[in-house]
Amino acid sequence: MVVVTGIHSWFHHGLQNRLFSLALSISERPKTYTFVPILVTILLSLGCLFGRFDDDIQGLYTGTGTRVDLARVMFKQHFDKTQETFLPGRIVDLKAFARVLVMTKNGSDVLAEGPYGDVVKVEEFIRGLSVTLKDEEGEDGIRVVNKKWKYEDLCALNDGHCVKNPVIQLGKTLPAYRKNETEITFPVMIDDEDLSGSIFLPGSLAKPQLRRRDSSDNTEDLFDEQGIILSTPGVSLFYFLNTSSSQNLERAKRWEHNLMAKINDFSKSLNHVDVYYFTGSTFADESLRIGLKMIPIFGCATIVVFFYALFSGLMRDPIQSKPYFAFAGLTSASMAIISTLGITCTMAVPFTGLSMSGPLLLLGIGLDDTFVMLAAWRSSPKNLSADKRLAHAYSEAAVSLFITTMTDCICFIIGSLTPYPGINYFCLLSGIGVIVLLAYQLTFFGALMYFMGKKECENRDALTFAKVSAPKDGEKPTGWKFFRDYTLPAAQLEKAMESSAMAFFRDIWAPIILHPVSKTLTVLLMIGYLGISAYLASGLEVSFDRSYLADPDSDAVKFFTQEEEHFFDWPARPMIGVFGDVDYSDRVVQKDMALLLGAVENNHMFAGSLFSDFWLQDFLQFVKINDYYEPMDISNEQAFIDVLKTKYLTPDNVMSKDVVFNENGTKIVASRFIVQVADLSSFGELTDSMTFLWRLTDTYKDRYDIRVYHPSFRWAEQIADVMKYSLMTGTAAAVSVLGISLLLIPRKGVSVWIAGSILSVTLGVIGFMVAWGLSLNLISMIGLLLGTGFSVDFMAHIAYAFAVSPAATPDGKARDALYRLGVPILQGGCSTLLSTAFINLLDAYVFIALIRIVVLIMLFGMLHALLFFPVLQSLIAEVTEWCSGPRHTDEDLEKNDDIACKVPVIHMRCGHGHFSQALRTKAQENGCLCDTGDDSNKTKRSPIFYDPGLVDGVDKLIFYPAMIVLSRRESPELDAKFSCVARSALSTESSTLQAVSQFSLVSSSTSSVDASTSSSSDACRDVNDRDSPEVVVMV
């Protein structure tokens, strides 16, 4: 604890001193701090020229370096990467394609003559589409001008031909099928004359109605799982494009865009069916469209927030009002956002649809800090000069602003460590942004605030800057208006200088919530809040759907809806790969592989052996069948490989693509087998099948390197991992935030309360987001991470104000903290809500989820800061003081000077230091030092209350901070005591006064206020009671 206290004291006081010096530097060179940030912004904005928009949604929102991604890399490295032998069931990467769902309008049989005729029209339309490239360089280096590329020119080839659609292959059978002269079997349509020409139908038909085959049918046992198709409401058509080179990929993308541009108009000509489509470019177009929508939304949000900030800066008196405050705050935030974009673009961080919402978030954060700075300015002594008031405001707001910036930044940094690039880019942009915001807040905005404050100190109108004088005798100004040549009378000036909203929190809100009955009700309210939140949070579900990344009315969402409803019973054919040097001639290996495959085929989420492709099993069966005619020796590895290569893996055998040999062909370095996921109803069940394969293959990890992969697993992995990453990032963020709070907030008990508020706000957000229809996924995960940072923002402001309050009682501290920061907390929360509310216009789930979570964070954050914290902290402090002895109220101190002398307001711990000894001597000579008792171990104390206007020359205390305690008590006796002690301090040697670095204040009968010096005196370092709470009060 001693070490923590020492670090806190060094960091806390050092930060205040440096910002105090920064404020004085700004007041000396305001033009420098105005124009240098503008120049820096212009230079950094040039980085935006390097910006790029990343529209690869799959790459952005699927993991990198995750289990599925590493499996994808392994499969891509080892297995066939050419497009000339494209096999749809063995896809690793699918960059360019089109999938079209054709559904009957009334749910009738799509295989009937009319609907199927429309299906053929769709096939012919798509295959007839072409793109014209005006000028490109051919593969032979010859320039090609205005060449048309049709689907047949661009498709992925299998045996020199485009991949055929199984549904179109059924065409020759359908006339007999409609006459009940033949049957179409499912899942495999059997060609009785040529079994090699059988058609695999799963994935191509929409949940067909089936009947079992009659037991009298003469069908081999191989097809016992077959059914007879009665009807099906729709079909799926696949179109795979060649992406083996950059030129082929460019042509394929052009073809995709041409399809998307024309297919909706074409589908209107079809009488029996509706058409739904999805291509490799659909998500990219959706992302770009959402990104373009952000531009006008950002403009609207800026205008609305500007007028809100403008209204928030107005007061009754024309001098005290800050109409240009809104302009200064928004300009500072906008410059910070532009600089942030320039920095991130220079760092090659791309724009994404999600990250483009970052500027709106930063706009709200920037205004939060602006309101805190304005509140600190207004709470500074009014009769100080502008430079001293600015220094006072910086010292008062410095630590709370630093806490909020650091907590937000750390939460964003932790979020950027997740394996999802889209989340990383958003967090990186926002994390850099909050740091840049603080830099501009403390420089550019500070210079503008000094300029406006200087005009205020010169009694100039806040709008016109015209000189304002006091009203003439007998004149009674009413209301508030600009363009008048007088201010309020002196008797009304102090009241007018006080914001009515600030007075509301002190004089109305605080007494209401601090009433004993209200405290009881507040405790019950918080218990109820926690109970309801916990109950609602118990219903949290983990889910993710690709439709979350698109507009609800987009073609993509319509496609996903139809796909999940009609085509998800046969959703995927995962590949199970075995990598490394494995001797497949070993019977133990053969047994292990057979057991692995059997465990998969016997699971309810997978189809049986009919739908598995396992080269090893098939090869062993091949050897067994041919053993009678041509015995084959596969007893050792080399003999096994020789027979495998020469007898089995012929060019026309599709399984020849499932075995990879080393360079000299003597060992098998990789192999794979294919299984079929079946009978699923949702994307979440696909995740269950994936995790089952993970658990199963993990049982063999000590003997084999086995990986599982399918392209759809890249999406399914999110559901499997989001809970893990939510717990990891949330815990790391909470611990980091607590560490910062312990470091910067004087009272350790307050820091513990902040940790509790993080848990409370997070629990509330989780519970009520469930009630609001949200689930746990990547987007809500990042929202909860923001909640960890944002929930601390308000708590840090109010907790720090409570800790440093000069009030002697807990209720007094609560009133003072609410008076100082109640208004900026309310204004900051509302400004964030206003700036982010416009995101809701995008209507995509990813943004709706984010805005709902931000709303909950702001509401619960303000609830904790403005109600729960003041009440509970007051109760805790009262209990603590009750246990430690009698306490005195602020009113007691004002009414009874004897009590004031007995309450240890200032205790100079370095009692033997030259300055403190000289001060005591002078104070005793002047008769203004109270004796607290006979305890020789305690230094004599004096109630010192500081108002800079009371003593001539007291401004020196601002340059050399010492024994400065703010008080709003209106007591002539106490003012006189301060005047006496202050003159005593000022009459000591100036060199000694400069040596004093800071004093600290606490208000309990058992705690004391420390005075540490920066001199080399060992006595000032060897202090007692280091565990005592400390609150540094500086001007």
Give the DSSP letter string of 735-755. Answer: HHHHHHHHHHSS-HHHHHHHH
Residue 57 domain flag: no
What are the residues whose beta carbons fall under 8 Å from the beta carbon of 988, sequence distance 6 or more?
A: 915, 918, 919, 922
Residue after which a domain boundary falls, among 279, 295, 325: 279
10 lies in some domain: yes
Q: Is 698 exposed, middle or buried (0-12, 13-18, 19+ CB in 10 A)?
A: exposed
240 and 300 in a single domain? The answer is no
Question: What is the Cα–Cα distance from 133 to 78, expressed in whole angstroms?
Answer: 34
pLDDT digits (tens, 9 = 90+) for 627-647: 777 888 888 999 999 999 988
Locate 340 and state its tokens.
């942030």
pLDDT band per the 50, 70, 90 thresholds, residue 610: confident
Contacts (Cβ under 8 Å, ≥6 apart) of 326 = 306, 307, 308, 309, 310, 312, 313
- Residue 690's domain spans which residues? 574-709
Flag whether 383 is in a domain: yes
517: its two tokens? 């009955």
What is the CATH classification number for the domain harbouring 731?
1.20.1640.10
Instruction: Using the 3D structure, point to which of 833, 856, 882 is the last residue of a domain.
Output: 882
Assigned token pair, 530? 């926690």
On whether residue 714 sits in a domain, the answer given is: no
Q: Classify strands 996-999 and 668-674 as parallel, antiparallel or unpaired.
A: unpaired
Among the listed residues 992, 1005, 920, the one whose alpha carbon sits nearest the alpha carbon of residue 962: 992
* pLDDT for the residue numbered 236: 94
Which region among 113-117, 266-270, 870-874 has the lowest average model confidence (pLDDT)?
870-874
Each residue's pLDDT tens digit, 347-381: 999 988 788 888 888 888 888 888 888 888 877 87
Residue 471 pLDDT exceeds 50: yes
**What pLDDT, on the 0 to 100 scale, is given for residue 316?**
65
Residues 35, 40, 45, 46, CA torsion sign: positive
> How many Cβ atoms from other residues are within 10 Å of residue 625's Cβ?
9
Are residues 686 and 723 part of one domain? Answer: no
If we measure between CA atoms, which residue out of 403, 506, 365, 404 comes closest to residue 805? 506
Relative to beta strand 234-240, strand 613-614 is unpaired
Confidence category of residue 743, pLDDT binned at 50, 70, 90: confident
Q: What is the pLDDT of residues 370-428, one digit of tens each?
A: 888 888 887 787 778 888 888 888 887 777 788 788 888 888 899 888 999 999 999 99
How far is 473 from 774, CA to CA, in rounded Å?
64
144/167 Cα distance (integer angstroms): 36
N- to C-terminal Cα distance for the chain? 28
Please report the sign of the dihedral spanned by the C-alpha atoms of residue 580, residue 585, residue 588, residue 594: positive
Lowest mean pLDDT among 254-263, 477-486, 662-671, 761-770: 477-486
- 16 domain-assigned: yes
| pLDDT tens digits for range 695-723 | 999 999 999 999 999 999 999 998 888 88
Question: Has residue 216 got a pLDDT over 70?
Answer: no
pLDDT at 85 over 80: no
Q: Which of 241, 261, 279 is the last residue of a domain?
A: 279
Task: Identify each DSSP E strand in 343-497 by its residue range.
Answer: none
Q: Which of 5-9, 28-32, 403-407, 989-993 has the highest mean pLDDT?
A: 28-32
Residues 272 and 289 in one domain: no
Please indicate, yes or no, whether residues 695 and 771 belong to a single structural domain of this protein.
no
Q: What is the pLDDT of residues 890-946, one digit of tens each?
A: 455 444 444 333 333 333 333 333 334 444 444 444 444 433 333 333 333 333 333
Same domain, 529 and 624: no
In a domain, 555, yes or no: no
Do 684 and 719 contact (CB within 8 A), yes or no?
Answer: yes
- How is 107-121 classified by DSSP, letter by letter? S--TTSHHHHHHHHH
Q: Do 330 and 447 sit in the same domain of this protein? A: yes
* Predicted pLDDT at 94: 84
Q: At what angle do helices 358-379 and 282-312 cross, to 10 degrees?
A: 10
More confident residue, 44 or 56: 44
pLDDT above 90 covers a percentage of the chain that reads 30
Highest mean pLDDT among 202-211, 259-268, 724-733, 891-900: 259-268
Task: Looking at the structure, tell me whether residues 375 and 233 fall in a common domain.
Answer: no
CA angle 852, 777, 68 (to 5 degrees): 155
The verdict on residue 513 lying in a domain is yes
Give the other-Cβ count within 10 Å of 471's Cβ.
17
Same domain for 252 and 181: yes
Residue 702 DSSP one-character state: T
Interior angle at CA 1013, CA 1007 and CA 1015, nearest 5:
155
The arithmetic mean of pLDDT across residues 270-291, rounded, is 89
Q: Is the pTM above the cut of 0.85?
A: no
Residue 994's pLDDT band (boundaries 50, 70, 90)? very low
Residue 868 lies in a domain: yes
Residues 231 and 374 both lie in one domain: no
| Measured distance CA(8)–CA(912) in Å, rounded | 24
Rounded to whole angstroms, the Cα distance separating 896 from 174 reads: 104
Q: Phi and psi (nearest 5°) for 784?
A: -65, -35
Predicted local confidence at residue 436, as pLDDT: 95
Q: Is 704 left (phi over 0), alpha (psi -120 to 50) or beta?
A: beta
CA–CA separation, 336 and 441 (whole Å): 9
Residue 900 and residue 816 share a domain: no
Instruction: Give the total number of structural domains in the chain.
Output: 4
Beta bridge pairs of residue 707? 577
- How is the beta sheet containing 227-231 ordered, strand by strand? 185-186, 227-231, 209-212
Of 734 and 114, the structure prediction assigns the larger pLDDT to 114
Look-up of token digits 């430690």: 884
In this structure, the answer to whether residues 535 and 652 fall within a common structural domain is: no
The larger pLDDT score, comparing residue 712 to residue 311, is at 712
> Among candidates 572, 611, 677, which has minimal Cα distance to 186?
611
CA-nearest of 965, 961, 989 to 977 is 965
Output the pLDDT for position 47.
Answer: 93
CA gap 387, 393 in Å, rounded: 10
Q: Which amino acid is at 773?
A: G
Q: Tokens at residue 237, please? A: 């058509």
pLDDT of 969 above 70: no
The confidence score (pLDDT) of residue 341 equals 94
Residues 700 and 749 in one domain: no
CA dist 839 and 298 (Å) reads: 9
